[in-house]
Amino acid sequence: MSKKKRIVSIIIFFVLIVAIVTGIILLGAPRPHAETLPEVMRDAVLHETMKVNFFGLQVNPGLISAYTVTAILAVFAIIVRIFVIPKFKKIPGKFQLVLETLVGMFRGLAKGNSPEKNEVLSAYIFAAGIYIFVGTMFELVGVQIVTTNGASVSLPAPLSDINGAIAMGCGSYLFILLGGIFNNGFHGLFGTVKEFSLPLSMSFRLFGALLSGALVTELVYYPMFLSFGLPVIVGVLFTLLHALIQAYVLTLLVSIFYGEVSEKKLEKGKKKKKKNKET
């Protein structure tokens, strides 16, 4: 990466963060308190009663999960960067092999679905895949947090919160849109807008899949006699499967659509020439 490109990407990165922070502040109007509902299931879906204080804001526990996951991953990444990566060998050890396989897998997925432009895409699906997987597995840890009404709640998967799922789905759509515009101009824009149902489908697929996992686990836990032993298998298996499947599905979808909208269209003249050659 040249110096100029690096500076541009850093500027874009910080502008993006500033824009989002501004949005958060502007949209942070006080909301009326949600009404209390007794059902556990309803609350698991809507998070109306269980709110957590986040720097003065009343937020769903899913958001705390999201930031916790980010903090864990950040610490992990920094430790790996400082202590492991400088010691990388040409013939990889076990941990190096895991990291290289992860990076190689997402790069392969990006290259396979978007052969022309895939540098940013592979970085994006790498981050998204890891976030979805680790975020979903995070609910197994069961970190307890105190809500604003004094109750204790176990931190759920960030994407089982509808806001997290929408952010992920719409963020991915936005990423595809930007990729299309940068790589393919008007064609890219048109190609992405044509798939207007994509953000909705991606958001609700994530939300539905992760929430259904949580609900099924809740149902299994509900009767007393089923809450011994069984959750160890059911909970872990469901969560692991969701984590893997959802990470794979979202990264695959993003790759496919990104590849489609960033693909260069052949000009009409070239097409005609090709046809002439064939005949």
Give the C-alpha separation, 30 to 199, whole Å.
27
Residue of the chain from 105, 163, 178, 216 that contacts another protein (CB under 8 A) = 163
Shortest separation between residue 128's beta carbon and another protein, angstroms = 8
Which of 61, 110, 126, 238 is the binder for another protein (CB under 8 A)?
126
Q: Show the 3-state SS of 22-49.
A: HHHHHCCCCCCCCCCCCCHHHHHHHCCC
As a whole number of angstroms, the distance between CA 183 and CA 187 comes to 9
Cα within 13 Å of Cα(209), Cβ side: 27
Residue whose CB is less far from another protein, 172 or 192: 172
Q: Is the dihedral of CA 46, 48, 52, 53 positive or negative?
A: positive
**How far apart are alpha carbons 210 and 126 in whole angstroms?**
20
* Spatial separation of the C-alpha atoms in residues 126 and 103, rounded to whole Å: 7
Compute φ and ψ for 232, nearest 5 degrees: -60, -45
Q: Which is nearer to another protein, 46 or 245 (CB)?
A: 46
Task: Estimate to the nearest angstrom the gap between the alpha carbon of 83 and the chain centroid.
Answer: 27
CB of 88 to another protein, least distance (A): 5
Strands (E), the chain: 52-54, 57-59, 144-146, 152-154
Contact between 46 and another protein per CB under 8 A: yes
CB of 239 to another protein, least distance (A): 20
Please say which residue, 28 or 185, places its beta carbon nearer to another protein. Answer: 28
Give the residue, chosen from 164, 179, 199, 213, that forms a contact with another protein under the rule CB under 8 A: 164
Residues 60-119 interacting with another protein (rule: CB under 8 A):
60, 62-63, 66-67, 69-70, 73-74, 77-78, 80-81, 85, 88, 90, 99-100, 103-104, 107
> Is residue 156 at the binding interface for another protein, with CB under 8 A as the rule?
no
Identity of the amino acid at 266: L
Among positions 168-197, residues that touch another protein (CB under 8 A) are: 168, 170-171
Q: Does 155 bind another protein (CB under 8 A)?
A: no
The contact set with another protein (CB under 8 A) reads 13, 16-17, 20-21, 23-24, 27-29, 31-32, 34, 45-48, 54, 57, 59-60, 62-63, 66-67, 69-70, 73-74, 77-78, 80-81, 85, 88, 90, 99-100, 103-104, 107, 122-124, 126-128, 130-131, 158, 161-164, 166-168, 170-171
